[in-house]
Amino acid sequence: MRDGEQVEVAAHQVRMGEIVLVKNGAKVPVDGQVVSGTGAIDEASITGESIPVEKTKSDHVFAGTISRGGFLQVMATGIGADTTLARIIHRVEEAQDAKAKTQAFIDRFSKWYTPAVMVLALAAGLISGDVVLGLTLLVIGCPGALVISIPVAIVAGIGRSARNGILIKGGEYLETSAKISAVAVDKTGTLTEGRPVLTDIVVLNPEADRREVLRWAAAAEAGSEHPLARPILDTAREEGVAPEGLPGSVTPVVGKGIVADAHGKRVLIGNVPLLEQYGIVNDAGAAVAANKLAAAGKTPMIVAVDESVLGVIGVADTIREDAPEMIRRLHASGVQKVVMLTGDTRLVAEAIGEAVGIDEIHASLLPEDKLDAVARLQREGHTVAMVGDGVNDAPALATDDIGVAMGAAGSAVAVETADIALMGDNLLKLPEAISLAKRTVNVMRQNIWIALITVVVLLVGVFAGGVTMAIGMLVHEGSVLIVILNAMRLLRNTQGATALSRSERARAAHETGRPVEPATAQSSSELPS
């Protein structure tokens, strides 16, 4: 849209901030934000997922995706080389040029092998006086199949992964991914949905009720940017006890909670150590209620006003449906240990870990603690992959062998910094990436053996007699074709590997028991048994 009129222009002529009309069947030309309309967008080119995604106002769309229905008005936020698709293409091109360790070895081998064949051919021709013998040795000794054995497999593997929404930075990382023996994952936003909701309000003070507990909690959290503040404020608005204005001051206490000055009173929201730090007597009821909530996979927060404990609020995050299946597939792909690294309490972490099948849990961690945990796994001899967002877990991502960014579509930082970027928000893409890496490495090894065995057999045949130049050339070129065809097997579509079957879906629901499934906030003076 220009000057209020529809104008058709080339994609590269679209300017930042302009409104682009996306009709049914059209390809989205820019990265942008939907400002009006609804529609279904096929994002397979970005995320690898074939099911169209419903888009409405404020949702983001990506260049290269296709409208499968509806009508959208999109404000351009990324054009040309600044689009997600362009960054992906750039990364794939760089990745194909980046050499794996095996490729570097083959290159060094070829530098010695080629002169050796030339010397052998010259010596054989001079000693025997048979020029044809020397020429035959020179032709069949050419390491054509050996030279292309690795690059063709890497290009096929990276190309296949990119089509499935898995962006691998280079051949080196592809080869390293095949050796991954330990995976470290964050809890919030990775194993869980990352959208916590308030599930429980436990009243402990007989002079208060649930609305009173919620009102004071919301009054304190109004000045907090912590992710757990939002579900408290949302519930307070729904129940008509939303705070008016901001608290006078908010002091975060690392690892314990916050202290706020609201309506002339000191409000504490946090754990038992926070109460102890401020000299508030903790009756057994608060600790017991908090422990019961934590054991159920919920994050408890004790609410105290001045010197009195009012109650405990429980906030929970929904376990991703595909989390248990991801753990199973990682183990099936050869991963020995899946480790959870979280800043949440141990009881909450253990509840989530038990539900999804985590092997080892490290809770109450600071960012630098996550780095130490990754380093410890490496000292144990593991090749470690750290799954994060590319920003919040930066220290750990910088230390591990392979950094994996989840749901990286639209994030330039994640695409640029991660060794592997999973463009879609699908946990099953992680074991798929590892399996594809293993398949690629196996094909690389097969190609090397095919090339070497062919050369050895031909050389033996020439000296033993029976292998002429014509036969040698035919077999040699045939080996090149076999190497290429073997690598092309990697291009077979394996998208179905990222989908849960009906039986897997049912099993996941049973195993998790939905211990952190969002529920309506309960008014209760005690927790259910």
Cα–Cα distances in angstroms (integers) from residue 51 to residues 44, 70, 203, 334, 397, in the given order: 8, 15, 45, 29, 31
The span from the CA of 155 to the CA of 161, in Å, is: 10
| CA Rg value for the chain | 30
| Active-site residue, from 59, 82, 97, 186 | 186
| 3-class DSSP state of 371 | helix
CA dihedral 141, 144, 146, 150 (to 10 degrees): 170
Q: Which token pair is 51? A: 């099911």
DSSP H helices, 380-411, are 394-399
Active site residue 186: yes
Pairing of β 384-388 and β 265-270: unpaired
The span from the CA of 22 to the CA of 51, in Å, is: 18
The span from the CA of 74 to the CA of 61, in Å, is: 8
**Sequential DSSP letters for 40-79:** EEE-HHHH---S-EEE-TT-EE-TT-EEEEEEEEEEEEE-
Tell me how long the chain is.
529
Q: Which helix (H) or strand (E) holds 34?
A: strand 31-42
Under 8 Å between Cβ of 204 and 309:
yes
Residue listed under structure tokens 């798929």: 432
Cα–Cα distances in angstroms (integers) from residue 191 to residues 98, 349, 392, 498, in the given order: 32, 11, 16, 16
Neighbours of 381 (CB within 10 A): 8
Pairing of β 182-185 and β 337-341: parallel
**Sequential DSSP letters for 209-251:** -HHHHHHHHHHHHTT---TTHHHHHHHHHHTT---SS--SEEE
Residues annotated catalytic, as ranges: 186
